[in-house]
Structure 1
Amino acid sequence: MTSRDSRDDLAGTLKRTELQRAESSIPGREIVQVLTEIPPGVQSGWHQHPGEEVGFIVSGTVRMEIQAQPTVTLNAGDGFLIPPETPHNATDLGPRTGRMLSTYIVEPGKPLARFTKP
């Protein structure tokens, strides 16, 4: 799939490429893997997912804000985990485009990401 997945609010803001989507062995869940690219100085905007996000910073430096958790700075090689329905925001700190590989374990049929308030 291309980065313009209509079931993903962030697809209109960031470059997001869906790499694969498959049923999960967990009843009522599917697994979706996405490569997200954030240009320097750009933020994702506060959003949430209908399930867990297990992520990995492929390149760049990203400030990750997760509701009710301390803000962290992640570099290439760092992983992160975001609980279901938890508002969060990612900002690329530059100087290069940040690339994140995320695997979502989500409810099928719901938007993969939707904007929310912090």
Structure 2
Amino acid sequence: MRTTTAFFLSTLVSAVALMALAPPALAQRAGVTSKPLLRTSLSGDSTKESVLIAIEFSPGATTGRHSHPGDEYAAVLQGTLELRLEGQPPRRVTAGEAYHNPQGVVHETINVGETVAKTVATFVVEKNKPVVVPAP
């Protein structure tokens, strides 16, 4: 009985922790899925953490306009994305390329290709802050 209870509790705690890691604004957009891979304290700065997330975009899918309370560094693993940062011309990035979205800059990422696009993104944010902030 104790083993069953311990297993149930550890499974429940793991599920709740994973839900807390998921960036809500990305997870709620149709055609965009995110999978949290790692959340860890930043070395040398106990007030910040690094969050690593795998993101998939269906063809035509968009993140919608949003920003981040910290810097985003991402690598495109598959497909073609268009980055639309406020105040800058649109820029396309393809598999094998990387990009940076600065803290607080409103932007949108769109899969402009005909296949699924995949990225891995690292966000450097203050601890216990959301990773994604929807733009008004």
- The TM-score with structure 1 as length reference comes to 0.90
User: How far does the alpha carbon of each residue in 1:68-107 deviate from its partner, in whole angstroms, 9 at most, with x for none?
Assistant: 2221011001110111011110000121011111001011
Cα-to-partner distance string for 1:22-57 (whole Å, 9 max, x where unaligned): 000242210000011010011110011110000110
Higher helix content, 1 or 2: 2
Q: Structure 1: which 5+ runs fail to align?
A: none
Q: Describe the shift of the 1:98–1:45 C-alpha distance in structure 2 as closer, same or farther (beyond 3 A).
A: same
Structure 2: segments with no counterpart, 5+ residues: 1-17
Q: Aligned with 2:39: secondary structure? A: strand
Change in CA separation of 1:73 and 1:48 when aligned onto 2, cut-off 3 Å: same
Point out 4+ residue stretches in structure 1 off by more than 4 angstroms: none
- Structure-2 residue corresponding to 1:115: 134
Residue pair 1:39, 1:96 contacting (<8 A) in 2 also: yes
Report the number of matched residues.
Answer: 116
Q: Equivalent of 2:24, from 8, 27, 36? A: 8
Structure scoring higher RCO (CA < 8 A, sep ≥ 6) equals 1
Q: CA deviation at 1:67?
A: 1.4
Q: Does 1:87 align with 2:106?
A: yes
Distance in 2, matches of 1:20 and 1:64, equals: 24
Residue 110 of structure 1 deviates from its aligned partner by 1.4
Larger gyration radius, structure 1 or structure 2: 2
Determine if the alignment matches structure 1 residue 42 to structure 2 residue 58.
no
Secondary structure of 2:34 counterpart? strand
Amino acid at match of 1:87: V
Secondary structure at the counterpart of residue 16 of structure 1: strand
1:75 maps onto 2:90 in alignment:
no
- In structure 1, the residue matched to 2:120 is 101
SS at match of 1:64: strand
Root-mean-square deviation over aligned CA pairs: 1.7
Quick one: which of 16, 19, 38 aligns to 2:37?
19
Asked whether the 8 Å contact 1:3–1:17 carries over to 2, the reply is: no
Q: How big is the shift at 1:4? A: 7.8
